[in-house]
Structure 1
Amino acid sequence: MTTEGFRVLDEKSLIEYIKTTPSLASKLGNEVDNLKIKEVGDGNLNFVYIVISPSGSIVVKQAVPYIRLIGESWPMTKERSYFEVTALKRQYALSPKHVPEVYHFDRAMSLIGMRYIEPPHIILRKGLIAGVEYPLLAEHLAEFMANTLFYTSLLYLTTTQHKSAVAEFCANVEVCRLTEQVVFSDPYKISEYNRWTSPYLDSDAEAVRNDKVLKLEVAELKSKFCEKTQALIHGDLHTGSIMVTHESTLVIDPEFAFYGPMGFDIGAFIGNLFLAYFSQDGHAEQGNDRKAYKAWIIDTIADTWNLFYKKFTSLWDIHKEGPGEAYLYEIYKDVELWELVKQKYMMDLFHDSLGFGAAKMIRRIVGVAHVEDFESIGDLVKRADCERRALDFAKNLMKKRRTFNSINEVISTAL
């Protein structure tokens, strides 16, 4: 498949490409005659290659003009790679400990060369399935989200800077439309792409499609997703987009990045932790009932929000007299008013995060793309039971999100 200088690379043609690209060859010590290449793109959209030489390593990611999970019958702009690399560079500048460095970008080829996140890093979702605890996960994700969301919002930027950035990312429309479809539309109607653990969840999927209150709530969330240009968001911040060790956390794959509601990122991460929590009973075995691990996940959910709140509001306090035009200091410098502003802003953000988190959970159970947390449970009855409890929790969360005042109140409804 070739268009306008674009061709889909394979392992052989990638070697030739690297040989003619100094910015990549140099990261491999210019030892390009003895490369080991492995395609590891297990996601829904792209081809991803790990390239290793005797003296260096890189990752090469290529976007193709269709959804890889479906095939050429579902076209998708390969321009998403431009927005991914732009987001990677900005997020790296704001949170360098938690974002891989970019070495090379070829827009015509929709190809990004970047740091290889080496073993023992693994995809967080796989670690959660295996029952591995990551003591710094909440701290690191809270830091990443606080930095990337605060510094790209009107709490820090002028309206001129913000509008310019919004305009740039507005063109990432096709990827946003995909999210609009698979998160906020398809699960609530009959769609050829929907699937679930049938026949066990047939009535549950039908109940989602017939739930009028749920539909009203998801319509409001979809409107916010489409209209609220709050900050530069990752756009797909689930546990499959994070690589971890006990000491390190790196966020990858921001090809869905655009200026949207902050709560979509926060909710995506917390919602996926709840999916991991509800899946644990399906992974329990003799000698390991996973109860202690479920408690660790719950603690991580609580810590993520509480640490994010602390770090985000701390940045806001530090820069309250800065250029950000949302709340001009000369208007809001009264101490009592300043606290009221923060409390209202953060409570609204909390409720947004809960709603988006619930939407992300629902789509992973009755929509097109599921999660390995549940899919790896071989016993379908057991899997469906785990999914049903997650689905019921998510539906309740979406409908009642405005009644919660703390993350601990949310957690109490999941236990």
Structure 2
Amino acid sequence: MKKTVKKDGLNIREWVRDRILFLAMGIFVVGAAGYIGAGKVLDAQSMWMHPVREFALLISLVGVISLGYEIFLRELTFNEYKEALQEIVNPDAVRLGIQGIYKNRSELAQATSFEVLFENVKEEIFIGGSSLLSISTASRELIKNKVLNGIKVRLLVMDPNSTVVELITRQGGGRHTFLNEIKTSLLLLQKLHQEIADANTPNKGQLIVHSYETIPSHSFISIDATRSSGIIIADIGPYLGRSTPRPSMQVVNKKKGMFSYWKEMNDIMWESSKPVKMEVDDPSAINSKTLVLASGNETEFYDSENDTWQKASICQMGSDWRGIKGGQWVWVRDGVTKEEAITGTKKKFRLQFNLPLENTDSIRIAEMLLRSDDACHISVNDVRLVQEYGGAEYPDPFLIDIDQYVQVGDNTITFELVSYAKPDAKVPEDNLVGLIYRLHVEYS
């Protein structure tokens, strides 16, 4: 397998580009020093005095102009060129304020992470969906940090007691996975609300959770919708309990664009919802605790070259792969090389977590939903499970009961992911590989 060689040589172009401000300042300082130093080094009556000073002054002006351009004009000029190019290539998208359309959440996550999306929020984050399990798990600390820093966060989930949830459950063959997702998410959000309320932080924002009883028209993430800098990401089409990926659209606030349409749709869903009681009368009375971990930032892969564990990457999805709520498809990189597609690969991943218990009798549920491509072998605390798991395109993921293998304290789940060789592969997309899972543990 071909190895990637990192060159240690200095790249002059990158050096100049990354340090243009420093260079502009340096040019100004050199010119200023020459202008001031000329009077001390040269005689006042010297024929070279005025030419040297004028040249030094010219150099200083070059530095000042470069510095001003870099600070004030370069980004503006770049954005103008970018908008002009986009309008030439796709005038309709520019006119409607569409920044991107992604075929699934994995592709969206590769383009824009929640950390980047929430980085510049000024007033409000508004998120609506079916269960919001990915928000209550993977983005929990991010939401908490934003609320503690004065941001208002509104969350909109389906009512677990609605007839629509019952209908979706029946469509899924009577399995209560979808219902459990909503209840788990609400429980985690309730605990998050309690943590925010207990935090001794001035000028906190708000965490408001509503539920609705109708079939959702779409899922969405809305950032500062009332400001000119607002952004909305909307999943196109309703979620009906299926794990089939849905395309997503990212739009910005542009006059007569798509932004106003999605904003109105979001507001309609909120107006038809009702508040969820987040306060716990006696938090100590809740004996059951829930731990939900999913593939994403918590997953690591083994780097055999350096003999270390590294963070896994969100990877490209196959055209017929399906998802698992709360999880992301991961691998060692965002995609395979052509050579890896032909020869196949074998990589090791792990998930580590801690259960603060006195004995294993306190564990009520420990189960994992999993999909992979091609095949995955699992070990829980060095106990290897016999079955081989795959099913990237199956209607339902594998449900693995691991409560007999988890233990008090530190736990490690190891995934050995195998991609079989495909000698006739023409491009990397002919033999993609990935892993997605969600772990649910309840204990008292």
Q: TM-score range by the shorter chain?
A: under 0.3
TM-score (norm 2): 0.23
Looking at secondary structure, tell me which structure has more helix per residue. 1
- Structure with higher RCO (Cα < 8 A, 6+ apart): 1
